[in-house]
A and B are shown apart, each in its own frame.
Chain A
Amino acid sequence: MMTVKVNGQDHQVDAEPDTPLLYVLRDDLKLNAAKFGCGLGQCGSCTVIIDGKAVLSCVTPMVLLDGKQVTTLEGLGTASQPAPIQRAFMEEQAAQCGYCIAGMMMRAQALLQRNSKPTDEQIRAELAPHLCRCGTHMRILRAVHRAARLMDTAELVPADKRSAQ
């Protein structure tokens, strides 16, 4: 049995230390956002955030997670109370099949958390590990820029007035 902290909650999972985090998230914790795209660290669909950094969960075995905090897309917001990154992607309609999108959003979220005003070039460089086969790239870029703007204005809202995350 291993303990892993996901989206602020501790979970006991019956997983071997060499189990990639992706399978634990999807099969043990029933979380949908992080996706199986290749299992080889080549496509980015499995991206989550660990201690503030974007990570490919399909090549991150459980043995590495001791004491770390995992955040998935589900931990950022919900359909009724979306986080800025989720709002931005909805407003830009930045998806076709949508399979790659959760991974893109987590990478973008990690970027925006450490650099709130990234240039277009920086966003493109940051998303280099991510593949999108439908060709939604232009919208994804627009959505990340939009999220940066939304997060910027969100900063202006006093903490006590912000909706609970």
Chain B
Amino acid sequence: MKKKTIIGGALVVLLLGGAAAAFAVAWRSAIAAIDPFKPQSFDAALVKRGRELAAIGNCNDCHTVRGGKNFAGGLPVPTPFGTIYSSNITPDAETGIGRWPEAAFQRAMRVGVDREGRHLYPTFPYDHFTNVSDEDDRALYAYLMTREPVHAPARANRLSFPFDQRVVVAGWKLLFLHRDTYKPDPAKSAEWNRGAYLVEGLAHCGACHTPRNVLGAERATAAFAGGDVDNWKAYAINAQSPSPVPWDADALYAYLREGFHPDHGTARGPMAEVVSNLSSVSVGDVRAISIYVADVFGAPSPDRKRQGEAALAQAKSGAAAPAKDLPGAAIYAAACAGCHESDRPAPYGGIHLGLSTTISGPDPRNLANIVLAGVRPVEGERSPIMPGFAASMSDAQIAALLNYLRSRFSSQPAWSDVENIVAEARRTQTAYLETSAGARNVPADPPQRDKP
């Protein structure tokens, strides 16, 4: 983001914030603290429901850090405005939400205000959670309040002025927090509606998959047109999807449930944790999400369909595409083809690169991330392992490889500035790998996965 636009945006927010403050701040009172509950006071079925909803909401992904205790917070989330650390949502009385009555929890979910009346930064996606029903909030509350309390004080956010003033958030909410963005559509099936409720709400897919404006809010007119998160690109999941093979509900279902799909690849980066969580969610809910998102993708045009079929045919036939006389060709043949042109099925064999979305995507960032770091094994689980090439390839070599892959395996125009993107990926990827708690339920063939 350019500095000018940030400053410009900041001034706007400040003005608005000033105005809004009079209303917003005065209006947000503290809610009285309660004595921390004992786990037994919640109905077991409710807690179980809450567990599933927390998986859909991907709560542990932000609120658990590598080496840290469950839900104790502390994950650094880089934003254009600085770094925000996730909070402790264990029922610890001092440092967590142990003293929060249900009403306070619901208010946080609905309008992004904590028990004491302070505004929460929208890094906590309450612009989506505002759609969560009372019933579901109740279940989530029951689940969180029955977790193990962990004494872990919040880490101070690293935001520059004026963003470190929470009153600024009040202005942001005025502009961007819309209530009832989700409304059931009677023309659609119950499943579709369930999917819409989940996706627009708890699953908060748009939080990653929708581009944001200069003030860091999702652009309503560009819903699901792709976004950036943690130095990864979350691809467009609407009609602008760059995937060589168009997605349908069945493929989505398999991908979200198993973590991979033979025609599309394996969920990596931040998405790995999403599918890890979804593997433990009921079949019905995952199917509902798939149906809704398939509709967001929209039915592919006949042209796109044809291209998809051609890509699949090429991948399955194993016929060698005409060799391109690029420096990257030799690298690909020597370092990649062995796994990526074998007939070992997904997820343990490398995907045929003609099917890879990342190669057809708008920029090479994700591809650079994967080539550098590979795919790491998950402790004790059958899971794909790809070696990383950060140590054996220079930036120039990786750039040559990426340019070759783009040229050979997609029909899109060449990327630009590839070597710099690779250098940047090398620098920032390490941070992500060091802080993320990592996915547990990994891409694996169906019998090996968790049952819901």
Interface residues of A (CB under 8 A from B): 17-18, 40-42, 50, 53-56, 59-64, 121, 128
Contact = CB atoms under 8 A, between A and B. Distances in A.
Contacts of A62: 334
17 contacts: A17-B330, A18-B334, A40-B387, A41-B386, A41-B387, A42-B387, A50-B391, A50-B392, A53-B391, A55-B391, A56-B387, A59-B387, A60-B392, A61-B334, A62-B334, A63-B330, A64-B392
Q: Which of A41, A54, A128 has the most CB of B within 10 A?
A: A41
A140 to B, nearest CB: 18
B391 A54 contact: yes
B335 A59 contact: yes
Interface in B374-395: 374, 376-377, 385-387, 390-393
Contacts of B374: 41
A64 B387 contact: no
A54 B335 CA distance: 17
From A59, A62, A121, name the one whose CB has the most chain B CB atoms within 10 angstroms: A59
A64 B335 contact: yes
Nearest to B390: A53
Contacts, number: 46
B391 A42 contact: no
A60 B397 CA distance: 12
Interface string B327-351: 0001101110001000000000000
A61 B397 CA distance: 12
Interface residues of B, number: 18
A41 B334 contact: no
A55 B335 CA distance: 13
Nearest 9 CB-CB pairings of A with B? A41-B387, A61-B334, A18-B334, A53-B391, A60-B392, A55-B392, A55-B391, A59-B387, A63-B330
B380 to A, nearest CB: 13
Given A41-B387, A53-B391, A60-B392, A18 B333 contact: yes
Given A55-B392, A64-B392, A42 B334 contact: no
Contacts of B376: 128
Contact of A60 (B67, B330, B335, B385): B335
Nearest to A21: B392
Contact of B334 (A40, A63, A121): A63
Contacts of A61: 331, 334-335
Contacts of B339: 40
Given A42-B385, A50-B391, A61-B334, 5 more contacts: A17-B334, A18-B333, A41-B374, A54-B391, A64-B331
B385 A41 contact: yes
A18 B332 CA distance: 9
A22 B26 CA distance: 69
Nearest to A59: B387
Contacts of A41: 374, 385-387
A41 B389 CA distance: 10
Contacts of A59: 335, 387, 392
Contacts of A18: 330, 333-334
A59 B392 CA distance: 9
Given A17-B330, A59-B335, A64 B397 contact: yes
Interface in B232-261: none
Nearest to B329: A63
Interface string B60-82: 00000001000000000000000
Nearest to A60: B392
